[in-house]
């Protein structure tokens, strides 16, 4: 008999019942909620007279809509009337249901996928869902974590379960040792560039290999976060001592004897050596260089030293049309060096890259340098606690001295539904996860990259390999 | 949920691959606490000029497709954000069926919770459906119980859909109500977990 994958094991441990229609009723350990994808779910429960089954397994934050300045003024001061109503609706719903909630301005508030791990709520072996596609982030802890729609949010609130069909098993092996300046964001972009945005559809991806073991928890979260951009249901990484160390001592982490029991169980959660995967992919990280996106899909990837594709060299007419459409939107010419394009804005933040390690990487590049005169650059920490830690380390002072705008936590300019957005035609170097048309604001042009690369773009005013930045005066 | 059995409607070709949910309904329209009214934001960037006037070359702005009930699109339709506002916006506009070569997982699941039928067909079929939708008669007939699409030419194309999902749409089932019939199993599961994984159940 062949062994089981990590996904198989978590799936089996959460099966409540099999329905006649072919769906499995799967138990959900942690349900994260936010203001945008829940109002209709709570309204549905109210209309049907159904209570929230397990408020204690639910955690709420306000992140998508919130402004990233002046949060202490509270929800009532949010200028956008619709956003304010949505935030107030969440406040009312969680109060009625008795759900733990970190409101805007609370130091524990922030982007839902930063807060869950930070509080120790996201743990190995769990099933974790949220009405947000980047829930795949929590797979970094060896959990089965994925996004759901609002009807499913309502279903989880009412039943603490989800109706699911088993996905396929896919493993992506990251071998080799990456060059300095190449990290988790480049791993993610390399994979999506290779298999495409539909390449993972119907599969759960397990990441493994020496380059994954070497990644920090922040890096693993970045990689798992971007799994949805490859179309996969979820991405996960077997938990190890690094994961346990990250969780230990956090507010919701098991304590005392429970911690020992949990560690014993968590240590058993890995794919068996003889487990069969439906598909396996190998990527040699030693061969990677810092990557950026040139187009309007996360699969439109090019090394920062490379050239934008030329539709004349496309493999077929359909692809040529697609490339031309993306070039037109992005204001680029086929075949031009990507490094020639002038950057107007820089955004360092989002559930992909707003954790302490990301801010350290950006500050390392910014230290002693200045943001180019024509660039407006902002740094948005993933949570109030990340912001506090960064300030304790003096990162804010380095970034502010370089000319970056230092903001309060939230989803910010990742998705253009709060005051932080691009103006039509603006070109942005962004650490977020999607470069779709209009994603950061109507007509905005997004280039995805790592925090260090985004900081380098801010300094140079164009996309540049940060290893090619001129040395800081007085440095070696 | 409104049951879906048959649909006779005009079909609009949207010959673009990787139509993401930000394109279907941009984030600025998500600041609503309702499920209805999202049709006005459907495909906003493709559909409207900056001043809000309709772009004449966009398919749903053309008079023969303005009342479309079926949309035919390229690969990987509905990728990106999990926002259920995407099917809500399609339905609010009047579209009850999307035909494509493939769909992103979350969007696909969201369809079945809202009475929207996603049909997967092979690439050459989708291509021929687009051609027919571009012809003089744009009305397609979909029979979900028979799992067929009858084209304006009279040709009948069959599609696959697993029985569980088909039943969900045909009967307009309430998934929560169905699951709550298993509430005893959920209670048992939780009781067991309190013993085996007390740190989670705390």
With 90 as the cut, is the pLDDT of residue A374 above it? yes
Helix A150-159 to helix A39-48 angle, to the nearest 10 degrees?
50
pLDDT at B136: 82
Mean pLDDT (chain B) is 95
Q: How many CB atoms lie within 10 A of CB B161?
A: 17
What is the pLDDT averaged over residues A23-47? 97
Assign A476 a pLDDT band (cuts: 50, 70, 90).
very low
Those residues with Cβ within 8 angstroms of residue A394's Cβ, 6 or more apart along the chain or in another chain: none
Q: What is the DSSP letter of B179?
A: H
Which of chain A's residues have a Cβ under 8 Å away from the Cβ of B18?
197-198, 297
User: Between chains, do B76 and A197 touch, taking CB under 8 Å as contact?
Assistant: yes
| Geometric angle at alpha carbon A363, from A382 and A61, rounded to 5° | 5
Assign B167 a pLDDT band (cuts: 50, 70, 90).
very high
Which of chain A's residues have a Cβ under 8 Å away from the Cβ of B162?
22
Best of B80, B88, B172 to substitute, by most chain A Cβ atoms within 10 angstroms, is B80
Closest by Cα among A335, A305, A327, A291 to A445: A327
User: Between chains, do A437 and B23 touch, taking CB under 8 Å as contact?
Assistant: yes
What part of A 390-429 touches B (C-beta under 8 Å)?
415-417, 424
User: Between chains, do B186 and A159 touch, taking CB under 8 Å as contact?
Assistant: yes
0.90 exceeded by pTM: yes
A232 and A206 Cβ atoms separated by less than 8 Å: no
Those residues with Cβ within 8 angstroms of residue A154's Cβ, 6 or more apart along the chain or in another chain: A40, A41, A42, A44, A45, B176
pLDDT at B201: 65
B175 and A155 Cβ atoms separated by less than 8 Å: yes
**pLDDT tens column, B66-84:** 999 999 999 999 999 999 9
Report the percentage of chain A scoring pLDDT > 90. 97
**pLDDT tens column, A210-260:** 999 999 999 999 999 999 999 999 999 999 999 999 999 999 999 999 999
**pLDDT tens column, B4-59:** 999 999 999 999 999 999 999 999 999 999 999 999 999 999 999 999 999 999 99
With 60 as the cut, is the pLDDT of residue A144 above it? yes
With 60 as the cut, is the pLDDT of residue A445 above it? yes
Report the percentage of chain A scoring pLDDT > 70. 99
What is the pLDDT averaged over residues A54-62? 98
Closest residue to A152, CB basis, from B22, B113, B182: B113
User: Between chains, do A86 and B32 touch, taking CB under 8 Å as contact?
Assistant: yes
**pLDDT tens column, A399-422:** 999 999 999 999 999 999 999 999
* Three-state secondary-structure class, residue B14: strand
CA B22 from centre of chain: 15
Cα-Cα-Cα-Cα torsion B31, A436, A453, A374, nearest 10 degrees, comes to -80
Closest residue to B104, CB basis, from A132, A160, A201: A201
User: Between chains, do B31 and A36 touch, taking CB under 8 Å as contact?
Assistant: yes
Which of chain B's residues have a Cβ under 8 Å away from the Cβ of A145?
none
User: Between chains, do A85 and B186 touch, taking CB under 8 Å as contact?
Assistant: no
**Would you report the helix, strand and coil content of chain B in percent, each value rounded to 5?**
40, 20, 40
pLDDT at B200: 84
Chain B nearest-CA distance from A83, in A, is 6
Closest residue to A149, CB basis, from B32, B109, B202: B109
pLDDT at A475: 54
ipTM: 0.95
pLDDT at A106: 97
DSSP H/E element including B149? strand B148-150
* Three-state secondary-structure class, residue B89: helix
What is the pLDDT averaged over residues A30-38? 98
Measure the CA–CA gap between A436 and A235, rounded to whole angstroms: 21
User: Between chains, do A160 and B50 touch, taking CB under 8 Å as contact?
Assistant: no
Q: What is the DSSP letter of B120?
A: E
| Token pair of B119 as six digits | 């049909």
Which of chain B's residues have a Cβ under 8 Å away from the Cβ of A419?
none
User: Between chains, do A201 and B162 touch, taking CB under 8 Å as contact?
Assistant: no
**Nearest chain A alpha carbon to B80:** A229
Closest residue to A86, CB basis, from B31, B109, B180: B31
pLDDT at A473: 74
Closest residue to B198, CB basis, from A36, A197, A258: A258
């Amino acid at each position: 008999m062949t062994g089981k994958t990590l996904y198989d094991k978590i799936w089996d441990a959460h099966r409540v019942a099999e329905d006649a229609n072919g769906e499995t009723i799967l138990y959900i350990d942690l349900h994260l909620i936010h203001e945008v994808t829940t109002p209709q779910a709570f309204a549905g429960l109210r209309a049907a007279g159904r209570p929230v089954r397990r408020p204690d397994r639910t955690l709420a934050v306000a992140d998508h809509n919130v402004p990233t300045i002046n949060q202490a003024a509270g929800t009532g001061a949010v200028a956008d009337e619709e956003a304010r109503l949505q935030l107030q609706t969440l406040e009312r719903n969680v109060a009625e249901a008795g759900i733990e909630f970190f409101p805007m301005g609370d130091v524990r508030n922030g982007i839902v996928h930063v807060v869950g791990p930070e509080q120790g709520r996201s743990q190995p072996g769990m099933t974790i869902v949220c009405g947000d596609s980047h829930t795949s982030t929590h797979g970094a802890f060896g959990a089965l974590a994925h996004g759901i729609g609002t009807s499913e949010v309502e279903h989880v609130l009412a039943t603490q379960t989800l109706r699911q069909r088993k996905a396929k098993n896919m493993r992506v092996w990251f071998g080799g040792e990456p060059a300095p300046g190449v990290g988790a964001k480049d791993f993610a972009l390399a994979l999506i560039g290779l298999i495409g945005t539909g390449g993972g559809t119907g599969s759960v991806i397990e990441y493994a290999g020496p380059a994954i073991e070497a990644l920090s928890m922040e890096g693993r979260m970045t990689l798992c976060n971007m799994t949805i951009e490859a179309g996969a249901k979820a991405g996960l990484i077997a938990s190890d001592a690094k994961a346990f160390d990250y969780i230990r001592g956090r507010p919701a982490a098991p304590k005392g004897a429970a911690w020992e029991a949990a560690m014993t169980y968590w240590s058993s959660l890995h794919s068996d050596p003889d487990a069969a995967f439906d598909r396996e992919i190998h990527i040699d990280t030693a061969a990677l260089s810092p990557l950026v996106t040139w187009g309007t899909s996360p699969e439109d990837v090019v090394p920062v030293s490379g050239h934008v594709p030329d539709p004349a060299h496309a493999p077929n007419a359909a692809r040529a049309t697609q490339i031309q459409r993306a070039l037109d939107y992005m204001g680029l010419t086929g075949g031009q060096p990507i490094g020639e394009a002038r950057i107007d804005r820089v955004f360092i933040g989002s559930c992909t890259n707003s954790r302490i390690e990301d801010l350290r990487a950006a500050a390392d590049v910014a230290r002693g340098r200045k943001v180019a005169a024509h660039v407006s650059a902002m740094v948005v920490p993933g949570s109030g606690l990340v912001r506090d830690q960064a300030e304790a380390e003096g990162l804010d002072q380095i970034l502010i001295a370089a000319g970056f705008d230092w903001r309060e936590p939230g989803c910010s300019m990742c998705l253009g539904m709060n005051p932080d957005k691009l103006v039509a035609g603006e070109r942005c170097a962004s650490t977020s996860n999607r470069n779709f048309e209009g994603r950061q604001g109507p007509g905005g042009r997004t280039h995805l990259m790592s925090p260090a690369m985004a900081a380098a773009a801010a300094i140079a005013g164009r996309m540049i390999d940060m290893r090619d930045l001129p040395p800081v005066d007085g440095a070696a | 949920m409104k049951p879906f059995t048959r649909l006779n409607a005009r079909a609009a070709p949207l010959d673009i691959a990787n139509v993401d949910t930000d394109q279907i309904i941009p984030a600025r329209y998500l600041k609503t606490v309702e499920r209805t009214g999202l049709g006005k934001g459907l495909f906003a960037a493709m559909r409207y000029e900056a001043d809000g006037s309709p772009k004449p070359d966009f398919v749903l702005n053309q008079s023969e497709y303005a009342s479309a009930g079926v949309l035919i699109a390229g690969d990987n339709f509905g990728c990106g954000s999990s926002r259920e506002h995407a099917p809500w916006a399609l339905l609010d506009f009047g579209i009850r069926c999307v035909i494509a070569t493939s769909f992103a997982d979350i969007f696909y699941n969201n369809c079945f919770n809202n009475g929207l039928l996603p049909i997967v067909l092979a690439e050459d079929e989708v291509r021929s459906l687009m051609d027919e939708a571009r012809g003089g008669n744009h009305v397609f007939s979909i029979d979900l119980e028979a799992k067929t699409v009858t084209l304006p030419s009279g040709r009948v194309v069959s599609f696959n859909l697993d029985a569980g999902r088909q039943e969900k749409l045909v009967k307009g089932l309430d998934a929560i109500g169905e699951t709550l019939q298993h509430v005893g199993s959920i209670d048992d599961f939780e009781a067991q977990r309190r013993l085996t994984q007390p740190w989670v159940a705390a």
